[in-house]
Structures are given as C-alpha cells and as structure tokens.
Amino acid sequence: MPAMSVEDVGNVRRIEAALLQHPQVDFKTFHVIHGGMYSRTVMVPANHIITGALIKIPTQVIVVGDAKVLVGDKVLNLSGYNVLPAQSGRKQIFRAITDIYITMVFPTKAQTVSDAENEFTDEANLLASNRDESKNIFIKTED
C-alpha cells in the first residue's frame, strides 16, 4: 500500500465527508500491546465502507475476507488472507464485499491505546475507537 499524493488524500477526504452524511456503524476495535508491537483490528460487515485516518508511519496491514481498497488512484481487489506492507502518508477506503477483518500492526513504545493512536495518526479524533470507548477491547502484556 503506497503513500498517496496530497490530491489523492483530498479525494478520500471528500468521499469521507459524503459518507459521514449517512448513519455510522460503531465498530468494535481490538487493541493489543505486546512485545513492543501494537495491533488494532476491526471487523467491517459485508456491504459497508470504512475510511481510515491519515497514517503517518509505515505499518503492516492484514486483511481477511473479500474487499475493494482504494489507495491513491488504484483499487486493490483483495480476497482471502492478505498481509500488506503499507507506507506512511496514506488514507485508504475499504469496501467490504464479505465481512472483513482489518488489522494494522507496527512497532511501538506506547503503553496506552491513546499513545499508540497518536503515534500512527494526527487524526485520532476521527477513529471509530474514539467515538464510543465501550466498543474497545484492550489487551496489554508486560514485556
């Protein structure tokens, strides 16, 4: 998943603004901090669309299920199990064809979800995990 141009990010923001005019689905977000790694997983139900925050660090993205992903001016068709290297400077849109699970992983020294979220984006306030904190499941182990 490559970095995106300023123009491409702007296009995603316009699509996102239009999508926000419709009722929103609250997703559970599963957070894990373990072994110097942070992962967050959401399940997006079939026939739903989710936009991501602008990601400012490189990560790995794991997608399970069938989805179309807009990254820049390209649409990726994903099916099954996919582990994707993902560059910083991206704001993608996922359209779930089937129920999909999206996991993002990166190395961190963060000790809290808030710290990890602020490490990967300056748009943490836009994350579904911050709309309703009761939808968060958090596991942290002692390293």
Output the domain CATH number for residue 115: 2.60.120.10
The better pLDDT of the pair 109, 71 is held by 109
Spell 71-94 as b/e; 16+ CB within 10 A means b: bbeeeeebeeebeeebeebbbbbb
Q: With a cut of 70, say whether residue 5 has pLDDT above it.
A: yes
Range of the domain at 117: 6-140
pTM across the whole model:
0.90
Q: What is the number of structural domains in the chain?
A: 1
Classify residue 21 by its DSSP letter: T
Q: With a cut of 90, say whether residue 32 has pLDDT above it.
A: yes
pLDDT at res. 59: 97
Q: With a cut of 70, say whether residue 86 has pLDDT above it.
A: yes
Average pLDDT over residues 25-33: 89
Q: List pLDDT tens digits, range 36-70.
A: 999 999 999 999 999 889 999 999 999 999 999 99
pLDDT at res. 74: 86
Please check whether residue 1 lies inside any domain of the structure.
no
Q: Is the separation of the CB atoms in 2 and 87 below 8 Å?
A: yes
Q: How confident is the model at residue 143 (pLDDT cuts 50, 70, 90)?
A: low
Which residue pairs, CB below 8 angstroms and at least 24 apart, start in 7-15?
8/72, 8/73, 9/54, 9/89, 9/90, 9/91, 12/51, 12/70, 12/91, 12/92, 12/93, 13/91, 15/51, 15/93
Q: Select from 36, 35, 5 the least CA-distant residue to 108.
A: 36
